[in-house]
Amino acid sequence: MQRIIFGEDHDAFRASAKEYADRSLVPRMEQFLEEKTIDRAAWLEAGKQGFLGLDVPEEYGGSSVGDYRFNAVFAEEVSKVSASLSSCFGIHYDCSAPYLVDLGTEEQKQRWLPKFCSGELVAAIGMTEPSGGSDLAALKTTAKKADGGWVVNGSKTFITNGDMADLVITAARTDPSKGAKGITLFAIEEGMEGFARGRKLDKVGQTESGTSELFFEDVFVPDENVLGEVDRGFIHMMERLAQERVGAAVSNVAHAVQILDETIEYVKQRKAFGQPVGSFQYNKFLIAELVTKAEVTQAYVDNAIVAHDEDRLSAVDAAKAKWWSAHVQNEILDACVQLHGGYGYMNEYRVARAWRDARVTKIWAGSNEIMKELIGRDLGL
């Protein structure tokens, strides 16, 4: 079914995004996998092409397009190459940007955003902790007031871009007596004494994303690095999770559809018992089901994209898009592995890597179980 949410400007932007992906990402995937990170050159090229400042006003180096559909287009084109790459870039331009633009002071915006847009500064979000997972209100990292700033102690884990981030938007507890209402956001920068990175985590999939642990030992963070209002960090996070979740849904669908398209071509060529594998009735029916599920899911996600662009996407509807797209993505990719037979289990085949990469989408950005809990509560259950 033809998608109807994009216009000529989006199509032209998609062509540019695809050209960037084909030129700067695809030829270097083996390097990224081997080094378990995306090198700075790829970031700088993305910045040069204007992909990192879509939500940033022009006076700070961005393009301020004011149209979330452009964010979605870039996410889709990068997801077609790798779910990891979409995750790393997405945390930066799609998730971190709203915090800096909406909550940042004029001085903070001038200090960080130009390099944020150029790719000279890579951002990460430090929310998840070893003992907390999806329960952001239970975080244990603390920030105690000191003369001229705050002293931060604690740790974060599963941090996308954590291996190379120059600025980490970090949630810390500033008033333990207030529970979720006593959390504040801090911009912790590379080079601050006591800020250390742990190892690159050995994950099942998404090898090329530099997911790391972060440690804070008596890190002095000046008052000018407080992001937003003191003790309102949890609210700031909740207000911006809808964009993170619809962004995840966009990437999930694009990733799955790309591999499904490649699998359809594969089963047309691969023969068994003298005929193409795809011509067997079971496989034909299975692929028909997968294509239908992908297109129906795409329709819902497209609706969510438009709703978010018009500032009417609720947290509950974003949760629906996130969990369902992750579920369908994993169902599609598992079937694609099966349709490839033994080759589907080989790391040299894209379908195997995609299958491994996708498993985490049911866990991150709020686990699917948490998404269902939010939906259930909204239904009065």
The dihedral over CA atoms of 75, 81, 85, 91, expressed in degrees to the nearest 10, equals 10
The dihedral over CA atoms of 208, 366, 238, 144, expressed in degrees to the nearest 10, equals -70
Measured between alpha carbons, how far is 65 from 216 in angstroms, rounded to an integer?
A: 36
Active site residues: 244
Q: 270 vs 45, 274, 275, 334, CA distance in Å?
A: 38, 10, 8, 18
User: Tokens in use for 15?
Assistant: 């062509």
The dihedral over CA atoms of 128, 254, 301, 89, expressed in degrees to the nearest 10, equals 40
User: Tokens in use for 37?
Assistant: 């990170």
Within the chain, where are the H helices? 8-20, 29-35, 40-48, 68-81, 83-89, 97-103, 106-118, 233-269, 281-309, 315-340, 350-358, 368-378
**CB–CB of 127/241 below 8 Å?**
no
CA atoms 282, 81, 244, 17: torsion sign: negative
The dihedral over CA atoms of 145, 213, 133, 125, expressed in degrees to the nearest 10, equals 60
Measured between alpha carbons, how far is 272 from 279 in angstroms, rounded to an integer?
A: 10
Exposure of 66 in the CB half-sphere (CA atoms within 13 A)? 2
**CB–CB of 166/219 below 8 Å?**
no
Closest CA to 236 of 245, 244, 227: 227
What three-state secondary structure class fits 96?
helix
User: Tokens in use for 258?
Assistant: 């790309």
Measured between alpha carbons, how far is 261 from 81 in angstroms, rounded to an integer?
A: 13
